Amino acid sequence: MTMLDDIDIRILKLLQTNSSLTTKDLAAKVNLSTTPVFERVKRLEKNGYIKNYIAVLDAEKLNKGLMVFCNVTLKEHTREIGNQFVKDILLLKEVVACYNISGDYDFLLKIVVSDMKEYQNFVLDHLGGIKNIGSAHSTFVMGEIKNTYAIPI
Protein backbone atom coordinates (compact mmCIF):
# COMPACT_ATOMS: atom_id res chain seq x y z
CA MET A 1 0.00 0.00 0.00
CA THR A 2 1.13 3.51 -0.74
CA MET A 3 1.29 6.15 1.95
CA LEU A 4 -1.47 8.74 1.96
CA ASP A 5 -0.57 12.41 2.00
CA ASP A 6 -2.71 15.32 3.18
CA ILE A 7 -4.32 15.78 -0.23
CA ASP A 8 -5.29 12.09 -0.41
CA ILE A 9 -6.89 12.40 3.03
CA ARG A 10 -8.78 15.53 1.99
CA ILE A 11 -10.04 13.78 -1.15
CA LEU A 12 -11.21 10.79 0.89
CA LYS A 13 -12.99 13.04 3.41
CA LEU A 14 -14.75 14.91 0.62
CA LEU A 15 -15.80 11.76 -1.24
CA GLN A 16 -17.14 10.00 1.82
CA THR A 17 -19.31 13.04 2.49
CA ASN A 18 -20.49 13.34 -1.12
CA SER A 19 -19.39 10.67 -3.60
CA SER A 20 -21.08 12.46 -6.48
CA LEU A 21 -18.51 15.26 -6.51
CA THR A 22 -16.96 15.60 -9.93
CA THR A 23 -13.22 15.57 -10.46
CA LYS A 24 -13.50 19.29 -11.23
CA ASP A 25 -15.29 19.92 -7.91
CA LEU A 26 -12.69 17.89 -6.01
CA ALA A 27 -9.84 19.68 -7.74
CA ALA A 28 -11.23 23.07 -6.74
CA LYS A 29 -11.63 21.98 -3.12
CA VAL A 30 -8.07 20.61 -2.80
CA ASN A 31 -6.43 23.33 -4.94
CA LEU A 32 -5.10 21.08 -7.69
CA SER A 33 -5.88 20.73 -11.37
CA THR A 34 -8.24 17.99 -12.52
CA THR A 35 -5.64 15.60 -13.98
CA PRO A 36 -3.69 14.95 -10.74
CA VAL A 37 -6.94 14.69 -8.78
CA PHE A 38 -8.30 12.18 -11.29
CA GLU A 39 -5.07 10.16 -11.01
CA ARG A 40 -5.19 10.28 -7.21
CA VAL A 41 -8.80 9.07 -7.10
CA LYS A 42 -7.98 6.22 -9.49
CA ARG A 43 -4.98 5.26 -7.31
CA LEU A 44 -7.14 5.37 -4.16
CA GLU A 45 -9.69 3.11 -5.86
CA LYS A 46 -7.03 0.72 -7.18
CA ASN A 47 -5.35 0.46 -3.76
CA GLY A 48 -8.67 -0.31 -2.07
CA TYR A 49 -9.09 2.88 -0.03
CA ILE A 50 -12.30 3.57 -1.95
CA LYS A 51 -14.36 0.39 -2.02
CA ASN A 52 -17.55 1.57 -3.69
CA TYR A 53 -19.80 4.51 -4.55
CA ILE A 54 -23.41 4.23 -3.40
CA ALA A 55 -26.67 6.13 -3.08
CA VAL A 56 -28.07 6.13 0.45
CA LEU A 57 -31.82 5.55 0.21
CA ASP A 58 -34.60 6.68 2.55
CA ALA A 59 -36.01 3.49 4.12
CA GLU A 60 -39.18 5.23 5.35
CA LYS A 61 -40.08 6.47 1.87
CA LEU A 62 -39.56 2.93 0.56
CA ASN A 63 -41.87 1.49 3.23
CA LYS A 64 -38.98 -0.22 5.03
CA GLY A 65 -39.06 1.87 8.20
CA LEU A 66 -38.55 -0.80 10.86
CA MET A 67 -34.91 -1.44 11.73
CA VAL A 68 -34.06 -4.34 14.02
CA PHE A 69 -30.75 -5.40 15.53
CA CYS A 70 -30.77 -9.13 16.18
CA ASN A 71 -28.11 -10.82 18.32
CA VAL A 72 -27.61 -14.44 17.29
CA THR A 73 -25.91 -17.25 19.19
CA LEU A 74 -24.99 -20.46 17.42
CA LYS A 75 -25.54 -23.85 19.07
CA GLU A 76 -22.11 -25.10 17.99
CA HIS A 77 -18.93 -23.32 17.02
CA THR A 78 -17.15 -25.06 14.19
CA ARG A 79 -15.74 -23.51 11.04
CA GLU A 80 -18.21 -25.47 8.91
CA ILE A 81 -21.24 -24.35 10.92
CA GLY A 82 -20.06 -20.74 10.99
CA ASN A 83 -19.43 -20.73 7.25
CA GLN A 84 -22.87 -22.23 6.57
CA PHE A 85 -24.53 -19.60 8.78
CA VAL A 86 -22.76 -16.84 6.83
CA LYS A 87 -23.84 -18.38 3.49
CA ASP A 88 -27.44 -18.55 4.70
CA ILE A 89 -27.44 -14.96 6.00
CA LEU A 90 -26.00 -13.61 2.74
CA LEU A 91 -29.12 -14.91 0.95
CA LEU A 92 -31.54 -12.90 3.12
CA LYS A 93 -32.28 -9.51 1.55
CA GLU A 94 -33.76 -8.18 4.79
CA VAL A 95 -30.36 -8.54 6.50
CA VAL A 96 -28.51 -5.41 5.40
CA ALA A 97 -25.48 -5.91 7.69
CA CYS A 98 -24.01 -8.88 9.55
CA TYR A 99 -21.13 -8.72 12.00
CA ASN A 100 -19.24 -11.58 13.66
CA ILE A 101 -18.86 -10.30 17.22
CA SER A 102 -17.33 -11.30 20.54
CA GLY A 103 -19.06 -11.47 23.89
CA ASP A 104 -22.36 -13.11 24.74
CA TYR A 105 -23.43 -13.40 21.10
CA ASP A 106 -21.78 -14.68 17.94
CA PHE A 107 -23.36 -12.42 15.30
CA LEU A 108 -25.14 -9.09 15.16
CA LEU A 109 -27.62 -8.68 12.31
CA LYS A 110 -29.09 -5.40 11.09
CA ILE A 111 -32.47 -6.13 9.56
CA VAL A 112 -34.72 -3.72 7.65
CA VAL A 113 -38.40 -4.50 7.08
CA SER A 114 -41.66 -2.58 6.73
CA ASP A 115 -43.30 -3.38 10.07
CA MET A 116 -43.62 -5.83 12.98
CA LYS A 117 -45.75 -8.24 10.93
CA GLU A 118 -43.06 -8.46 8.23
CA TYR A 119 -40.40 -8.96 10.90
CA GLN A 120 -42.43 -11.76 12.49
CA ASN A 121 -42.74 -13.45 9.08
CA PHE A 122 -39.02 -12.96 8.47
CA VAL A 123 -38.16 -14.65 11.78
CA LEU A 124 -40.59 -17.53 11.28
CA ASP A 125 -40.04 -18.11 7.55
CA HIS A 126 -36.34 -17.31 7.11
CA LEU A 127 -34.25 -16.78 10.21
CA GLY A 128 -35.91 -19.64 12.06
CA GLY A 129 -35.06 -21.99 9.20
CA ILE A 130 -31.30 -21.50 9.55
CA LYS A 131 -29.71 -24.51 11.20
CA ASN A 132 -27.66 -24.23 14.38
CA ILE A 133 -29.10 -20.95 15.64
CA GLY A 134 -29.27 -21.40 19.39
CA SER A 135 -30.94 -18.09 20.20
CA ALA A 136 -31.88 -14.80 18.61
CA HIS A 137 -32.57 -11.64 20.61
CA SER A 138 -34.17 -8.69 18.83
CA THR A 139 -33.82 -4.99 19.63
CA PHE A 140 -36.15 -2.63 17.78
CA VAL A 141 -34.93 0.82 16.76
CA MET A 142 -37.30 3.53 17.98
CA GLY A 143 -35.39 6.42 16.42
CA GLU A 144 -32.19 6.93 14.48
CA ILE A 145 -29.94 9.53 16.09
CA LYS A 146 -26.79 9.15 13.99
CA ASN A 147 -26.03 6.96 11.00
CA THR A 148 -22.95 7.59 8.95
CA TYR A 149 -20.74 5.59 6.67
CA ALA A 150 -17.86 8.00 7.17
CA ILE A 151 -14.59 6.66 8.55
CA PRO A 152 -13.02 9.15 10.97
CA ILE A 153 -9.76 10.10 9.26
The band of 1, judged by pLDDT with boundaries at 50, 70 and 90, is: low
Interval 124-148: pLDDT, tens: 999 999 999 999 999 999 999 999 9
SS3 content of the chain, % helix, strand, coil (to 5): 40, 20, 40
Q: Which of 140, 69, 60 is nearest to 110 (CA)?
A: 69
Q: Which domains does the chain have, with CATH numbers?
A: 7-46 (1.10.10.10), 66-140 (3.30.70.920)
Interval 73-84: pLDDT, tens: 999 999 999 999
| DSSP state, residue 129 | G
The band of 115, judged by pLDDT with boundaries at 50, 70 and 90, is: very high
Interval 44-75: pLDDT, tens: 999 999 999 999 999 999 999 999 999 999 99
pLDDT above 70 (res 33): yes
Query: 9 to each of 26, 51, 88, 151, how far by Cα in Å?
Result: 12, 15, 37, 11
pLDDT above 80 (res 2): no
Helices (H) and strands (E) in the chain — how many of each? 5, 4
